């Protein structure tokens, strides 16, 4: 099921016992699992499909938890699928503003399932019949009421609320150009002009020129320090200009702002903070700095410094020990004096390659630390620190 063979999908859906045996064989036999299934008389194509499904379900646990064991996947669909906690949170926001939703480019149906679980009436649309069939299979497997049909996202009728997740992967690989999305992002946004309540899921690296729209909200989402997506909220769904949503230890935290404020600059202080990637991409470093009573060392570099340590889900923190010039030869001697043999090297704004610097430092010793290469004004410095 790397792609979708609807005949094989139908056979798997009607044979839960084969699904169970494939999962057990994969766990017990690894690369020899196909032989185990063939011994039971399963045909080669069906055995391969069952094992692929079992492998995809195993890989899907991180995104879907226990639901993964009942769901159907394609490799491309799983890669682009929204993580369940993110989809459920978005669905709750939709449920506050609408009673029904049209899910365009629904893929394997993750967001449609979350909408249905949140109590919304859902019509899911995908341009590909085979992919739509996977979405139908998932709705049935989870016992959720989702109407799935085949259609063009730029032409189908829309309900009172609309969600869209344009494909960012083709046979040529992942696309980072929004004009190459399927459908193209500019066409999709034109289609959604005037929508009462709408949102579009985007890749986390989306350029601000695509989301800086009058009356729109741009949100970046991270899960356990991994920025997983951006979302553009339109119409009545837009509440603020920028939002960073961070999931840490199973709980959600939000920071909002204009994305235009600038933090004060100054020297290195007792603590160094690295903002969460969602905060950085949303342009909310200044808002975070204000909450931490912190400042940057350079107006374009997202490290913050503060005299006091404050707990925050929006950043990691290190206790600063030394500040040195960024000179590899001198750093080698200073680190050798401190017998630092395990060193995490981070950098922003210096252009150094951490792997190359590590080779020059010739590290030896039992101690461990973090070295942050960055800029203070026009000076390049190395900050030795320990994570709190």
DSSP class per residue in 160-189: SEEEE--B-EETTEE---GGGSBS-HHHHH
Burial class (CB in 10 A: 0-12, 13-18, 19+), 290: middle
Residue 168 pLDDT level (bands cut at 50, 70, 90):
confident
The mean pLDDT value for 291-300 works out to: 97
31, pLDDT greater than 90: no
Residue 171 pLDDT level (bands cut at 50, 70, 90):
very low
pTM attached to this predicted model = 0.92
Position 40 scores a pLDDT of 80
> What backbone torsions phi and psi does residue 94 show, to the nearest 5 degrees?
-65, -40
Q: What is the pLDDT of residues 318-344, one digit of tens each?
A: 999 999 999 999 999 999 999 999 999
Q: Which two tokens stand for residue 50?
A: 């069952």
Q: What is the pLDDT of residues 62-114, one digit of tens each?
A: 999 999 999 999 999 999 999 999 999 999 999 999 999 999 999 999 999 99
Residue 378 pLDDT level (bands cut at 50, 70, 90):
very high
- Tell me how far apart the alpha carbons of residues 339 and 333 are, in angstroms, rounded to a whole number: 10
Burial class (CB in 10 A: 0-12, 13-18, 19+), 309: middle
208, pLDDT greater than 80: yes
- Tell me how far apart the alpha carbons of residues 207 and 355 are, in angstroms, rounded to a whole number: 28
Alpha-carbon distances, residue 34 vs 7, 11, 43, 59, 369 (angstroms): 19, 17, 10, 18, 47
Q: What is the pLDDT of residues 259-294, one digit of tens each?
A: 999 999 999 999 999 999 999 999 999 999 999 999
Position 170 scores a pLDDT of 52
4, pLDDT greater than 80: no
- Tell me how far apart the alpha carbons of residues 177 and 216 are, in angstroms, rounded to a whole number: 20
Phi-psi category of residue 323: left, alpha or beta, with phi > 0 → left and psi -120 to 50 → alpha: beta
- Considering the chain, what is the average pLDDT of its residues? 95
């Amino acid at each position: 099921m790397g792609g979708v063979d609807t005949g094989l999908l139908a056979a798997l859906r009607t044979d839960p016992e084969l699904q169970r045996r494939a999962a057990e064989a994969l766990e017990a036999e690894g690369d020899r699992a196909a032989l185990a299934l063939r011994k039971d008389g399963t045909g080669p194509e069906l055995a391969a499909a069952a094992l692929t499904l079992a492998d995809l379900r195993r890989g899907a646990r991180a995104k879907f938890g226990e639901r993964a064991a009942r769901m159907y996947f394609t490799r491309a669909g799983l890669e682009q699928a929204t993580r369940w906690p993110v989809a459920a949170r978005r669905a709750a926001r939709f449920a506050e503003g609408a009673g029904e939703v049209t899910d365009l480019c629904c893929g394997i149906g993750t967001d449609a399932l979350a909408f249905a679980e949140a109590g919304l009436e859902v019509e899911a649309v995908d341009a590909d019949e085979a992919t739509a069939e996977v979405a139908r299979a998932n709705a049935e497997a989870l016992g959720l009421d989702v109407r799935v049909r085949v259609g063009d996202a730029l032409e189908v009728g829309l309900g009172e609320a609309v969600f869209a997740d344009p494909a960012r992967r083709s046979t040529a690989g992942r696309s980072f150009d929004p004009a190459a999305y399927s459908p193209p992002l500019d066409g999709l946004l034109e289609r959604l002009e005037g929508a009462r309540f709408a949102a579009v899921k985007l890749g986390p690296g989306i350029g601000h020129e695509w989301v800086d729209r009058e009356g729109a909200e741009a949100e970046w989402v991270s899960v356990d320090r991994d920025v997983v997506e951006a979302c553009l909220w339109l119409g009545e769904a837009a509440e603020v200009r920028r939002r960073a949503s961070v999931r840490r230890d199973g709980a959600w935290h939000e920071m909002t702002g204009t994305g235009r404020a600038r933090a004060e600059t100054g020297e290195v202080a007792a603590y160094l903070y690295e903002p969460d990637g969602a905060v950085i991409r949303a342009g909310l470093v200044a808002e975070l700095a204000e909450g931490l009573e912190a400042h940057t060392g350079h107006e374009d570099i997202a490290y913050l410094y503060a005299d006091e340590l404050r707990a925050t889900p929006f950043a990691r923190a290190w206790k600063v020990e030394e500040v040195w010039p960024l000179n590899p030869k001198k750093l080698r001697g200073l680190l050798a004096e401190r017998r630092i043999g395990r060193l995490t090297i981070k950098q922003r704004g210096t252009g150094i390659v951490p792997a190359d610097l590590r080779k020059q430092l010739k590290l030896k010793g039992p101690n461990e630390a973090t070295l942050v290469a960055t800029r203070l004004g026009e000076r390049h410095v190395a900050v030795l620190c320990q994570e709190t």
